[in-house]
Amino acid sequence: MPIVRTEAVIPAPPEDVWAVLADFDRYEEWNPLNIRARGKAELGARVPMTFLNLARPGTTMDQTVTVTTCEPARALAWSGRVPLLFKGRHHFTLERAAEGTRLLHGEDFGGLVSRGFTPERIARDFKPAYEALNAALAQRVAELSRRG
């Protein structure tokens, strides 16, 4: 099963990072990967989302995902699928660290489409987009903490 794994340290407490991650309605203001979402970060919630289609650069994909993990200031995950063709579980784990929050961010893929996701392709086409989300998240958290 192809996977993406990234890690970052955000100089803010997990509660501040969570506040940004769980605010789906504001994703379009800062998130370069999951560019639009509407809904609540609640276990079992169905959230319409638009995200970059990294399997087809230059395109986006609309999908309603289901929140599968929702532990405030600790973990958030959602799953989406296109029967037989694709399934993905996008996940974030927040760990308190001396520097603030250690963010573990990734996705697990399955389905026919993902068979072409070699480790080299993941490293080239997917991982940079996930790392860009990590950097944008850190920047958004910093901006909000400066405001107030």
CATH value at residue 65: 3.30.530.20
- What pLDDT score was predicted for residue 57? 86
Q: In the chain, which stretches have pLDDT less than 50?
A: none
- What pLDDT score was predicted for residue 87? 92
Number of separate domains in the chain: 1
This prediction has a pTM of 0.94
SS3 letters for the chain? Answer: CCEEEEEEEECCCHHHHHHHHCCHHHHHHHCCCCCEECCCCCCCCEEEEEEECCCCCCCEEEEEEEEEEEECCCEEEEEEEECCCEEEEEEEEEEEECCEEEEEEEEEEECCHHHHCCHHHHHHHHHHHHHHHHHHHHHHHHHHHHHC
Domain containing residue 97: 3-147
pLDDT in tens, 66-87: 999 999 999 999 999 888 788 9
